[in-house]
A and B are shown apart, each in its own frame.
Chain A
Amino acid sequence: AAGVIQSPRHLIKEKRETATLKCYPIPRHDTVYWYQQGPGQDPQFLISFYEKMQSDKGSIPDRFSAQQFSDYHSELNMSSLELGDSALYFCASSGQGYTEAFFGQGTRLTVV
């Protein structure tokens, strides 16, 4: 069965660089969520999109932006990276009815 695909799986960047994370939701899922999970922490909500429109916003820094494209894939753009941005970034998708929400395997971002 198709799952949520995230790329890249691992990313190493230097401070002040820019990173772009991509998320491909399960086919026919119209809602995408982005979460950040620091070491030993629970996932923290960043932002979500429904039908290509931003639907909610959490603790996302102003240095980060995201969008959902016409094919429903989403990208999280992170600029002026800081050491504290090192974390696992997860994307999840859900379809109509909110019955299930599936997460991707995540992108591990390391800022050095």
Chain B
Amino acid sequence: EDQVTQSPEALRLQEGESSSLNCSYTVSGLRGLFWYRQDPGKGPEFLFTLYSAGEEKEKERLKATLTKKESFLHITAPKPEDSATYLCAAGYNFNKFYFGSGTKLNVKP
């Protein structure tokens, strides 16, 4: 069974304190690695798709990178409104995604 593992489970940061979230995945057959943000009781909000090792994408204070074994979501100078659960999902075909358990980020002012 394909596996997606995220770490840490929870992360508390001070406003402005940069950090990274990790997502490791089973390597073989990866078609796409997706990052989502989820607020409580809401649907996952699409952030990025990465396809190949070395690829990077940025959006505001977020930057996602992909290596052959893992993906990182870097958060630069976070603000309290960045507090959410960040999910990564790996797609091994075009029919479904496997989600990690998420990292719950709390940014304190």
Chain A positions within 8 Å of B, measured between CB atoms, are: 4, 6, 31, 33, 35, 41-45, 48, 50, 55-56, 58, 88, 90, 92, 94, 98-106, 108
Q: Which of B43, B46, B101 contacts A100 (CB 8 A)?
A: B46
Say whether, besides A100-B49, A103-B46, A48 and B99 are in contact (CB < 8 Å). no
- Kindly report which residue of chain B lies nearest to residue A43, judged by CB atoms: B99
Assess A103 versus B100: contact at CB under 8 Å? Given A42-B87, A48-B95, A98-B91.
Answer: no
Q: A50-B94, A103-B43 are in contact. List 20 more A-B contacts (CB 8 A).
A: A33-B96, A35-B99, A41-B101, A42-B87, A42-B99, A45-B96, A48-B96, A58-B96, A88-B41, A90-B43, A98-B31, A98-B49, A98-B91, A100-B46, A100-B49, A101-B46, A101-B49, A101-B97, A103-B44, A104-B43
Closest B residue, CB atoms, query A99: B49
B interface residue numbers (CB < 8 A to A): 31-32, 34, 36, 41-46, 49, 87, 91, 93-102
Across the interface, do B43 and A56 meet the contact criterion of CB distance under 8 Å? no
A33 near B94: Cβ-Cβ < 8 Å: no
**Is B43 a contact partner of A31 (Cβ separation < 8 A)?**
no
| Secondary structure of the A contact surface, majority rule | strand
**Which A residues lie within 8 Å of B101 (CB)?**
41-42
